[in-house]
């Protein structure tokens, strides 16, 4: 749990668009949020809603062309990363902000030993000697739970399982004591048991180190356990934000309700059917006016097709972008659907 309320990162009205033959894909369109010192903030939504583009925009790693961050601010301790020179930004990346991706193999160099890859980062960012860096790399590998860290240092990535590679990536990411870790679906490619082990380790280590984490996942069940606060994202925008307990216990956006219905629950019989959300996410290059979720929403009213709902407070540190958010309290989607059928 965060012990202070100081913001380490403030994202303000971030907009990243892709200029494609098909039109302008508004992948991230007006995203604002704060990341507090030491907290874990979940960023959740279905595939294609703009989670990775949000993280890559913060890191300034959007491929240009076709992409460009066209507006907003990314304030790290008050200074706007979007205004830094490339050289300054390289210092931040892997230094004060680290990132891990879904596919660890694509971020590891197959022809370098694990040890060399970790020590390179430590030598660059922490100005350690090769000897010091090697000692620290060994300690890091032990901390992320590798059984034989000495041997691992001299091994090549292909000898490692997916879970071990992701542990190595986390050792590299956390090695330079970043104040922020962006973890983009870090366990999605792994099987469920390994996923849980890695997430437990990540939580323990970042708590010990005081690292603030943006934990990106399409699985609301994952953030239930590991996040302090949650941002729900849909079609390039944050549609609900709040403490994890409120997102689970008192969801106030129909999309969040839809995502919750897809998460297996311990308090329900194992064989209870999980209901996927009807319909498909919209084409981000051709968004209709009004609320982007409207075509899939069982609660939609006439206004939803005309005016886009802004993110509006629905409680303490809890906001929803929905015209009917106030009617959602303690009403299940099924009950509502039956009651309101046309
Ligand atoms: N290089 C690219 N060119 C064109 N469109 C892109 C590119 N990268 C991402 N997008 C689009 O941006 C949107 C958001 O993608 P992304 O952030 O990767 O989603 P996710 O939430 O699954 O991480 C998607 O509609 C995707 O097609
Ligand atoms: Mg992604």
- pLDDT tens for 74-85 read 999 889 999 999
Q: 3-state SS string over the chain?
A: CCCCCCEEEEEEEEEEEEEECCEEEEEEEEEEEEEECCCEEEEECCCCCCHHHHHHHHCCCCCCCCEEEEEEEEEECCEEHHHCCHHHHHHHECCCEEEECCCHHHHCCCCCCHHHHHHHHHHHHHCCCHHHHHHHHHHHHHHCCCCCHHHHHCCCHHHCCHHHHHHHHHHHHHHCCCCEEEEECCCCCCCHHHHHHHHHHHHHHHHHHCCEEEEEECCHHHHHHHCCEEEEEECCEEEEEEEHHHHHHCCCCHHHHHHHHCCCCCCCCCCCCCCCCCCCCCCCCCCCCCCCCHHHCCCCCHHHHCCCCCCEEEECCEEECCCCHHHCCCCCHHHHHHHCCC
pLDDT confidence bin for 26, thresholds 50/70/90: very high
Q: Is the CB of 18 under 6 A from ligand 1?
A: yes
CB of 20 sitting under 6 A from ligand 1: yes
Residue whose CA is closest, atom 17 of ligand 1?
A: 50
Ligand 1 atom index nearest CA of 66 = 3
Model pLDDT, residue 241: 98
Ligand 1, pocket-test mutation among 15, 16, 17, 18, most atoms within 8 A of CB: 18
CA of 222 to the centre of ligand 1 (A): 22
The atom number, within ligand 1, closest to the CA of 216 reads 23
User: Each residue of 39-61: pLDDT tens digit?
Assistant: 999 999 999 999 999 999 999 99
> Residue 5 pLDDT > 90, yes or no?
no
Model pLDDT, residue 102: 85
**Residue 4 pLDDT greater than 80, yes or no:** no
Cβ 51 under 6 angstroms from ligand 1: yes
Domains of the chain (ranges; CATH) run 7-96+178-339 (3.40.50.300)
Lowest mean pLDDT among 101-115, 229-243, 263-277: 263-277
The residue nearest atom 16 of ligand 1, judged by CA position, is 50
- Asked if residue 63 has its Cβ within 6 Å of ligand 1, the reply is yes
pLDDT tens for 285-342 read 999 999 999 999 999 999 999 999 999 999 999 999 999 999 987 544 444 444 333 3
Q: Which ligand minimizes its atom distance to the CA of 53?
A: 1
Q: Give the pLDDT band (50/70/90) at residue 240.
A: very high
Closest residue to atom 13 of ligand 1, CA basis? 27
pLDDT band at 269; cut points 50, 70, 90: low
């Amino acid at each position: 749990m965060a012990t202070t309320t100081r913001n380490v990162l403030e994202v303000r009205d971030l907009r990243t668009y892709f200029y494609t033959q098909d039109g302008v894909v508004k992948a991230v369109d007006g995203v604002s949020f704060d990341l507090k010192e030491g907290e874990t903030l979940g960023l959740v939504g279905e595939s294609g809603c703009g989670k990775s583009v949000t993280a890559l925009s913060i890191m300034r790693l959007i491929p240009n062309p076709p992409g460009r961050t066209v507006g907003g601010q990314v304030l790290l301790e008050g200074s706007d990363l979007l205004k830094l020179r490339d050289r300054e930004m390289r210092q931040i990346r892997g230094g004060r902000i680290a990132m891990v991706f879904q596919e660890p193999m694509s971020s590891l160099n197959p022809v370098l030993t694990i040890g060399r890859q970790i020590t390179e980062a430590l030598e660059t960012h922490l100005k350690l000697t090769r000897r010091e860096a090697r000692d620290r790399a060994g300690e890091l590998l032990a901390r992320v739970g590798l059984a034989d860290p000495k041997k691992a240092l001299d091994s090549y990535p292909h000898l490692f399982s997916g879970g071990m590679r992701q542990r190595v990536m986390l050792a590299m990411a956390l090695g330079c004591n970043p104040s922020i870790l962006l973890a983009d679906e870090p366990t999605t490619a792994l099987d469920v048991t390994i996923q849980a082990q890695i997430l437990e380790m990540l939580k323990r280590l970042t708590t010990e180190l005081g690292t603030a984490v943006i934990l990106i996942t399409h699985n609301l069940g994952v953030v239930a356990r590991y996040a302090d606060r949650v941002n729900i994202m849909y079609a390039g925008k944050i549609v609900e934000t709040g403490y994890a307990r409120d997102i689970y216990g008192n969801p106030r956006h129909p999309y969040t309700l839809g995502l919750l219905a897809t998460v297996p629950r311990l308090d329900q019989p194992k064989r209870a059917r999980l209901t996927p959300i009807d319909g498909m996410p919209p084409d981000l290059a051709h968004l209709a006016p009004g609320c982007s979720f409207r075509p899939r929403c069982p609660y939609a009213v006439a206004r939803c097709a005309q005016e886009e709902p802004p993110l509006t407070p629905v409680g303490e540190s809890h906001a929803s972008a929905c015209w009917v958010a106030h009617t959602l309290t303690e009403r299940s989607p099924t009950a509502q659907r039956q009651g309101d059928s046309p």
